[in-house]
Copies of this chain bind each other. A is one copy, B any other.
Amino acid sequence: MEIDPFIFRLSIFILSIFIGYYVVWSVTPSLHTPLMSVTNAISSVIIVGAIIAGLSGEIDSVFNSTNIFGFLAIFLAAINIFGGFLVTQRMLQMYKKKKKNK
Contact = CB atoms under 8 A, between A and B. Distances in A.
A93 interface: no
Interface residues of A, number: 14
B15 A26 contact: no
Contacts of A18: 19
Q: Quick one: copies of this chain in the complex?
A: 2
Contacts of A15: 12, 15-16, 19
Nearest to A9: B8
Interface in A1-17: 2-3, 5, 8-9, 11-12, 15-16
A59 interface: no
The secondary-structure label for the interface of chain A is helix
A12 to B, nearest CB: 5
Nearest to A11: B12
Given A5-B2, A5-B3, A22 B11 contact: no
| Nearest 4 pairs of A and B residues by beta carbon | A8-B8, A22-B22, A15-B15, A18-B19
